[in-house]
Each structure stands twice: as C-alpha cells, then as structure tokens.
Amino acid sequence: MATEQENPLRPRRFAPLDPKKHVEGDTRPVLKGIVFDVDGTLCLPQNYMFAEMRAALGISKPTDILDHIYSLPAAEQEAAQEKIREIERTAMASQQPQSGLAELMSYLDSRSVPKAICTRNFDAPVTHLLTKFLPSSVFEPIITREFRPPKPHPAGILHIAKSWMHEDRGDSLIMVGDSIDDMTAGHRAGAATVLLVNDVNKHLAEHEHTDLVVERLDDLVAVLEEGFVGRS
C-alpha cells in the first residue's frame, strides 16, 4: 500500500534528460514522470470560481470546499457537488492555456517522459482542456476529485507512482502546480515540487514544500535538460 513519505530528501535532484549531459559517476536518480495540476497550471487560473462555489454552498473562507461537501449528510452531497460542477462547466468555456504549455508537452513527449494529472476538478473541465489545447498529448492516469482523498493528501500522486512504476513512493516524480495543496501533496508523496508562480501565489515561492519556482511552463525544458536541482 502506498504510504506518505515523512521526510523526503532535500534538495531534490534528477539526472539530465539530455543524454549528452550525462557524466560518469553521476548518482542523481532518473526522472520517471511528471504530475500536473490543471486550473492555474495547465490553464490560466480561474480563481473567481472559488468565490462562486462558496457562495453557492453558503460557506466562506477558509472552509475547504471539498471538505465541506464531504462533511454533509450523504443524501445532500450529490446536490452540493452538482452546484460546483455547474460553475466549472461554465468556466471551462473560457479556459486559456498557460504560456509555454504546448512547448513543454512537446518536449516531454520527445523525451518519452510519462505525464499524469492530479486535480481537484471534476472530469469535464479536464477533458475539455486536453481536447482543445493538447489533443495529441497523453496523460495517464488522470486523477480527478472522484478519487479520494483529494490534495493536499498525497494519495493521488502515490496512486500514480504505483500505476507507473509499481512503487509505493513518489520520489522519482515531479509535481507541478500553483497552489499550496499541490506543493503539500507532492512533498508528502516524496515528489519534487515545482511552483508555477503568479501574483496571487508568489508567497508560496519560499514555502518549505516548494522545491523549484518557474514563471512559465516551458522554463522547465532547460531545467530538465540540464538536470533538476531543487533548493536546499
């Protein structure tokens, strides 16, 4: 059974993906895959949704939306889920790709790096984004909020590690996201974490669960070619 990693080794490092940059005696592990969040990571953030969801559910910050829904009587949970799904369906029509999205995915595919998704969205916005902006890219598995427990619990990332590598730990992976839930889930799974920084989340750049910060997705291309090195 996959278990949370209590003390992932820091700094996190991976060998260069460019074979020409491999040197004899390099003991850095090989990267075995990258896990991506969706909203705010693969697409531009649509943070207004969260206020709309809380209003629809009659809750306020800092109450976690999914925790609130799961705390409701079983007979009320589906109606609450449908309220937030409807907000997501409306928002997905205005999804816009992150800068560097296509370039990074093309690079990862050229290097045969497995890609997966771990998100707190439901499946429709994820399918819409992939169909519209990344029709030729494969992400497998895709973990949506139907998988429980959701981030910041590491279970989704550990499930991906098990699916890909039959390993009970995520320390061969990188988690890319834009929220504290992403950084914490990745850290607790033992994965290296990459924050896609913006004006709203820049305070997370110095968080202990954040290993590396990028401003664009395709900034990762050079990082991975040369060899990933997280901060100490």
The CA-atom distances, in angstroms, between 156 and each of 182, 185, 186, 196 are 11, 8, 10, 20
Does the annotation count 39 as an active-site position? yes
The catalytic residue among 18, 26, 37, 67 is 37
SS (H, E, C) 14-58: CCCCCHHHCCCCCCCCCCCEEEECCECCCECCCCHHHHHHHHHHC
The catalytic residue among 39, 211, 218, 219 is 39
For every residue of 113-148, DSSP letters joined together read: --EEEE-SS-HHHHHHHHHHH-TT----SEE-TTSS
Closest listed residue to residue 59, CA positions, set 74, 71, 47, 42: 71
Kindly list the catalytic residues. Answer: 37, 39
